[in-house]
Amino acid sequence: MTGPKEHKVKSLAELPQALEPARDLWPGIEAALKTQVPAAGTGLSPARVRLGQLRWFAAAAMVASVAVGVWIGRDLVPLSGPAPSVAQATAPRVTPAQGANAVDAAFVSDPRYARQRAELLQSLQTRLDAMPEPARAKVTASLATIETAKKDLESALGKDPSNALLQELLINTYQDEMRALTDVHEASDPGRGI
Amino acid sequence: MRISIKLSAALLALSAAPLALAEKAFDKEVAAEERGVVEVSNTSGMVEISGWDRHAVSVHGELDEGVERVDVTSEAGRTLIKVVLPEHSRHGEARLHIKIPKDSELHLTTVSADATVSGVNGAQRVNAVSGDVTTEIAAGNLELKTVSGDVKIKGHGQPAQLRVTTVSGDVHLEHGGGDLETTTVSGTLVVSLDTARSVHARTTSGDMHFDARMTRGSSFEASTVSGDLNVRASAEGGYAYEVSTFSGDISDCFGGAKAEKGIIGHSMSGSRGEGAGHMRLKTMSGDVQLCDRT
């Protein structure tokens, strides 16, 4: 069935150059963004806040797109042995930079990555306690170094979300964190070694 | 007063006697295959392993009272040497001096024990937690992992697959060859390579120093977040290079090359010689120095 106003398109030239939505969608999008990150009290203009948000969303999208790549790389240092079962997370955790939460959230979207990382972090303190004191201090410092590196990279990506160099280094750092956590986990597993 | 001093000295001597007696010697020798596998594990103390021409494994040890026993077994080409501690204890120290057939494959595991390996031509797989590892390599492959232990590797330029990782331990490699893959979080990498085919190196904050002679068509990739990267590498047939950093500085010894400064970051690319190989160096905030004169 065809309506009375419908006609067959015979060439591309007959198609409109652009299609406008039936109504202006932007107010709804803007309202949703304001709900997620209230601009009040930041001292920034709404346009500037929106630009900042869009940067972080771009960064989050970028990191999400490479999360699969990280997971593939993660396979280079596979976990082995039983999963730790301690219930409380005790890892040294640096507070992420403003906006980095979006990046983290995107990154840990792979549930396997998130689950294994959480398991390793939960048992970290126990594993560190099993190490000789000088080793414990050095390893704790190294894990803090990784946290700082992640924070610095995420912060830099916030300014330049499409920077391929920073993306690669961030992926490397996430992989190195998993490798270090896995090494610590296995190193303190009696009779296994690393 | 004099009697009191003599009494104290006598008591001191008596209390020290058990300590002297606590250390016990251990010796055992078993037959082994020329190219068999030798597995050694020791929690703390020291392990010294050297290769010899005999088809036997010899173990001499000094064990403190925390060590329950040392198991030495040899069967079907596999010799096991294991320092056994009482259950739930990790505090017994053993100092082991081990000789193995020089073409053996060696698997060595320690926790805090330092390890030294020399004269072993076969492949080596070494794991340590906080113990330092010093090893000599030949044409056999090496897989070496530590958490915080420092690593020293001495090669003879023979090609091999070398894979070295640490969390915080420093890595020193002299006269390596073949393919190197090395990663550390905060350790420093100091590497000299005589005939390298490929190099993949990565740190988070550790500095890297390379002095490398690469083969024709070789590839060299190194990246760090905040460490500095100093590479002196020559290659038969030269190499095409790409250097990029987000906020570090780039310098070179090429004369004509100029680092380009973008809106954000610096990069430098070009070619040396025929450009047969590839060199890629990346940092976020670390400085990069590249030179093709070794």
Query: A150: nearest CA in chain B?
Result: B225
Angle value at C-alpha B236, between B235 and B240, nearest 5 degrees: 55
Domain count, chain A: 1
Indicate whether B169 and B52 sit together in one domain.
no
pLDDT of B208 reads 98
The whole-number pLDDT of residue A42 equals: 47
Domain contains A39: no
* Phi, psi dihedrals of residue B281, rounded to the nearest 5°: -125, 135
Spell out, as residue ranges, where chain B has pLDDT lower than 50.
Answer: 1, 13-21
Selecting from B147, B202, B225 the residue whose C-beta is nearest the C-beta of A187 gives: B147
The answer to the question of residue B3 being in a domain is no
Chain A stretch 96-135, residues whose beta carbon is closer than 8 A to a beta carbon of chain B: 130-132, 134-135
A119: pLDDT strictly greater than 80: yes
Residues B115 and B152 in one domain: no
Comparing CB atoms, the residue among A173, A187, A188 nearest residue B225 is A173
Please check whether residue B130 lies inside any domain of the structure. Answer: no
Range of the domain at B40: 23-121
Which one of B147, B225, B284 has the shortest CB-CB distance to A139?
B147
Tens of pLDDT, residue by residue over A149-188, are: 999 999 999 988 889 999 999 999 999 999 999 988 887 6
Residue B11 forms part of a structural domain:
no
Query: What pLDDT is attached to residue A194?
Result: 45
Statement to judge: residues B150 and B205 lie in one domain: yes
What is the per-residue pLDDT for B294? 72
pLDDT of residue B20: 45
**B222 plus B190 within the same structural domain:** yes
**Judgement on whether residues B239 and B159 belong to the same structural domain of the protein:** yes
Residues of A in contact with B111 (CB under 8 A): 132, 187, 193
Q: Cβ contact (<8 Å) for B148 and A139?
A: yes
In B206-265, the residues whose Cβ lies within 8 Å of chain A are 223, 225-226, 244-247, 264-265
Q: Compute the average pLDDT of residues A52-67.
A: 57
Over residues A64-92, the pLDDT tens digits come to: 555 544 554 444 333 333 333 322 333 33
Query: What local confidence, expressed as pLDDT, does residue A32 receive?
Result: 59
Pair (B41, B73) in one structural domain: yes
One domain for residues B175 and B221: yes
The predicted pLDDT at position B42 comes to 94
Inform me whether the C-beta atom of residue A183 falls under 8 Å from chain B C-beta atoms: yes
The count of domains in chain B is: 2
Q: Is residue B217 part of a domain?
A: yes
- Among B121, B148, B166, which residue terminates a domain? B121
Q: Are residues B182 and B268 in the same domain?
A: yes
Domain that holds residue A127: 58-82+97-194
Of the two residues A62 and B241, the one the predictor is more confident about is: B241
Q: Which residues of B touch A131 (CB under 8 A)?
A: 129-130, 147-148
Band (pLDDT 50/70/90 cuts) for residue A110 is confident
Assessment of whether the complete model's pTM goes beyond 0.95: no
